[in-house]
C-alpha cells in the first residue's frame, strides 16, 4: 500500500495552509485533514491497533470522516463500513455482528444511545472525531472485548454493497487492488502511476456517500490528484447546482437519477455552464436520458461501469471517446480500462460467445481476484471489437413468470419511453399461479399529465411481449432509494405489498 499511502500523505503535507475541502460553507485546509490522520493514527497505535487491524467507521459525509478514512487506509489498516443512516436498531445489530476492535465516528453518532450500548457490549475502543482532535469516547477508552475480530491483513476496506436487490453484504477489498484501481483511474485526470504528489487547480464536487464504494473511491481519487473539493452531505439539486455555480468545476458526477432530478427541476443552463462533462455511474443510464441532458445543457454524459467487488471502475468514457464515438457507441458504458480484459459467455454453459453477442460478462484484471482467473459477474453484456461494453441488465434479478424470463431493465426501458414518465422501477412479486409477476412503479415528469392506466398498458403492449407486461402499475411521488440513490428493490416490493 506504500504507493497510495505515500501519494495521499504527500499531498496532505505539500501546502498545509491551502484550502482542501469545503463543507457547508466552511473550508478545511490540507493541514486540518492531516491533523485528523495523525491524531487517529496515534490513538489507534496507543491502543495496540497497528497495521492490519480492522477499524469500523461511521461513514457520514463530513470532512472529519473523510480524513479518518484517509488515515485508516493509508495507515495500512482496514476501514470497515458502518452506515450511519441506518435506524438505531439496525446499526447496533451491525456493530454486534461485525465485532470491530475500534469504532470511529462523529460526536452526533456517538450521541445515539444504541450505538454506545452496542459498542460497550462488544468491548471496543471508541474514538470521536471533533474539530479539536480525535478523542476517546467515555467508557470506551480501550479495546477489551474477548470476541473482537481484529485482523484484516492486506485488506483496505470491508465495503458495503449497495443493497439494491437485498440485504447489503460486505466485500473485502485487497489493499493492492484498491491501490491499483486508484492509480489506473488517473487516466481520467491526466495522472500517471508513480507521479509525485502535487496540488492541482480547481474544485471537485464530492456527493457520493462514503458508506459505499463510489464515495470512498471518489475521495481517494480526488486527494490523489491533489485537488480541492466541495463535499456535500448528500445529493440535492439545489446544493449541487449552487456548488457548481460557485466553484465552476469542469467535471462533476452523480447517479443517473440525479440527471433526471436536474432536468425535472429545470436548473438554468447558466448554473452548469462551467461543466465540460458529467460522469454518471452506480446504476444503469438510459441513453435517452443522456441525450436529453446533452441537448438541454450541451454537456456530454460520460458513463462508467464498476462495482464494489471491482474496487472501482473497469470501463468508462473519456471525453475524447465521446467526441469521436458517442453516436456510434450510443448506450455503451464506455471502453474497458487499461489492463482490464473482458469476454461474454453463455449463461447456461459458460462457453465464450462471439463479439456482439449478449451473455454474461466475465472480467480479468490485475486488481480482480488472483489477477489471472476470469471473474464472472451477474450482468448481461455485449462487447465489441473496440473494447466498448454495453450492460443490458442483471441476470440474477430476472423474474420467472410461469416459466418465462422477464428482465426488469427491459420493462423499465419501455416505461421510460412514455413522454410523461420521468423514471420507473420494476420488481418481482410472488404469485400463487405463475411463481412471480412483474410490478412497476413510476414517477410522472413535472408539469406532465399522468397517463390513464389502460392508456399506459396499451403503450406498453406495443413495446413488450405479453409475459413482460407488468401485472400492477403504481404511480409514486418518489421511488425508495438507497443512500447511493439507487432504487431499493426490497423497499419497492414492500410498497406493493403494503398496497
Domain 235-395 and domain 398-498, same fold? Reply is no
DSSP string, 414-471: HHTTSTTEEEEEEEEEEETTTEEEEEEEEEEPTTPPPPPHHHHHHHHHTTS-GGGS-S
Only one residue has cell 454474461, namely 360
Residue for grid cell 453477442: 357
Give pLDDT, residue 286.
82
Assess whether pLDDT exceeds 70 at residue 200: yes
Q: Is the pLDDT of residue 313 over 90?
A: no
Residue 193 has pLDDT above 80, yes or no: no
Kindly report, residue by residue over 405-445, the tens digit of the pLDDT: 788 888 999 999 999 999 999 999 988 777 789 999 999 99
Average pLDDT, rounded, for the chain: 90
pLDDT higher than 80, residue 116: yes
398-498 maps to CATH 3.30.70.1560: no
More confident call, 72 vs 480: 72
pLDDT, tens digit, for every residue of 367-386? 777 778 898 888 889 999 99
Distance (Å) of CA 51 to CA 67, 103, 105, 140, 462: 17, 16, 20, 21, 60
| pLDDT of the residue at 481 | 85
Cell numbers standing for residue 100: 470491530
The domain made up of 235-395 has a fold known as Rossmann fold (3.40.50)
**In the prediction, which pLDDT does 311 show?**
63
pLDDT at 21: 98
Tens-digit pLDDT profile for residues 252-308? 988 887 898 899 899 999 999 999 999 987 677 888 889 999 999 999 999 988 766
Q: Answer whether residue 168 shows pLDDT above 70.
A: no
Residue 299 near residue 293 (C-beta atoms within 8 A): yes
Give tens-digit pLDDT for 141-160: 999 999 999 999 999 999 87
CATH classification code of 2-178: 3.40.50.980
Q: What angle do CA 271, 274, 280 make, to 5 degrees?
A: 90
Domain assignments of the chain as residue spans, ordered by start = 2-178, 235-395, 398-498
How confident is the model at residue 273, as a pLDDT?
Answer: 96
Q: What is the dihedral of CA 128, 129, 133, 137, to 10 degrees?
A: 0
Amino acid at each position: 500500500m506504500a504507493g497510495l499511502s505515500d501519494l495521499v500523505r504527500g499531498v496532505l503535507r505539500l501546502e498545509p495552509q491551502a484550502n482542501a475541502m469545503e463543507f457547508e460553507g466552511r473550508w478545511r485546509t490540507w493541514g486540518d485533514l492531516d491533523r485528523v490522520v495523525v491524531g487517529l493514527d496515534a490513538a489507534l497505535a496507543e491502543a495496540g491497533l497497528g497495521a492490519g487491524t480492522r477499524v469500523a467507521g461511521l461513514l457520514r459525509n463530513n470532512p472529519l470522516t473523510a480524513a479518518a478514512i484517509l488515515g485508516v487506509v493509508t495507515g495500512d489498516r482496514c476501514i470497515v463500513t458502518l452506515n450511519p443512516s441506518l435506524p438505531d436498531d439496525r446499526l447496533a445489530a451491525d456493530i454486534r455482528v461485525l465485532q470491530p476492535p475500534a469504532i470511529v465516528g462523529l460526536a452526533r453518532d456517538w450521541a445515539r444511545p444504541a450505538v454506545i450500548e452496542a459498542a460497550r457490549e462488544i468491548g471496543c475502543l471508541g474514538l470521536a472525531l471533533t474539530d479539536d482532535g480525535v478523542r476517546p469516547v467515555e467508557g470506551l477508552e480501550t479495546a477489551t472485548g474477548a470476541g473482537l475480530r481484529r485482523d484484516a491483513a492486506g485488506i483496505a476496506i470491508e465495503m458495503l454493497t449497495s443493497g439494491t436487490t437485498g440485504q447489503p453484504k460486505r466485500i473485502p477489498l485487497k489493499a493492492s487492488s484498491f491501490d491499483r484501481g486508484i492509480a489506473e483511474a488517473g487516466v481520467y485526470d491526466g495522472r500517471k502511476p508513480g507521479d509525485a504528489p502535487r496540488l492541482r487547480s480547481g474544485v471537485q464536487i464530492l456527493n457520493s456517500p462514503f458508506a459505499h464504494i463510489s464515495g470512498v473511491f471518489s475521495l481517494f481519487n480526488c486527494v490523489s490528484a491533489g485537488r480541492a473539493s466541495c463535499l456535500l452531505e448528500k445529493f440535492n439539486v439545489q446544493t449541487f447546482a449552487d456548488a457548481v455555480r460557485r466553484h465552476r468545476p469542469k467535471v462533476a458526477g452523480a447517479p443517473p437519477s440525479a440527471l433526471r432530478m436536474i432536468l425535472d427541476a429545470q436548473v438554468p443552463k447558466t448554473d452548469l455552464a462551467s461543466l465540460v462533462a458529467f460522469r454518471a455511474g452506480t446504476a444503469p443510464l438510459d441513453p435517452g436520458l443522456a441525450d436529453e441532458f446533452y441537448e438541454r445543457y450541451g454537456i456530454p454524459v460520460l458513463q462508467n461501469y464498476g462495482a464494489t467487488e471491482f474496487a472501482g471502475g473497469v470501463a468508462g468514457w473519456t471525453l475524447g471517446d465521446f467526441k469521436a464515438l458517442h453516436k456510434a457507441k450510443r448506450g455503451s458504458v464506455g471502453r474497458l480500462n487499461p489492463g482490464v480484459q473482458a469476454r461474454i459467455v453463455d449463461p447456461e454453459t459458460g462457453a465464450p460467445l462471439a463479439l456482439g453477442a449478449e451473455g454474461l460478462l466475465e472480467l480479468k484484471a490485475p486488481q480482480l481476484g488472483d489477477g489471472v482467473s476470469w471473474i464472472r459477474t451477474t450482468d448481461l453484456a455485449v462487447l465489441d471489437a473496440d473494447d466498448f461494453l454495453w450492460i443490458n441488465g442483471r441476470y440474477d434479478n430476472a423474474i420467472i413468470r410461469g416459466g418465462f424470463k422477464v428482465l426488469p431493465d427491459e420493462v423499465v426501458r419501455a416505461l421510460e419511453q412514455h413522454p410523461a414518465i420521468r423514471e420507473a422501477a420494476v420488481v418481482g412479486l410472488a404469485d400463487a399461479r405463475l411463481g412471480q409477476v412483474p410490478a412497476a412503479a413510476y414517477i410522472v415528469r413535472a408539469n406532465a399529465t399522468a397517463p390513464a392506466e389502460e392508456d399506459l398498458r396499451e403503450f406498453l403492449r406495443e413495446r413488450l411481449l405479453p409475459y413482460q407486461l407488468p401485472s400492477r402499475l403504481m404511480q409514486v411521488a418518489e421511488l425508495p432509494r438507497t443512500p447511493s440513490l439507487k432504487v431499493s428493490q426490497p423497499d419497492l416490493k414492500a410498497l406493493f405489498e403494503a398496497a
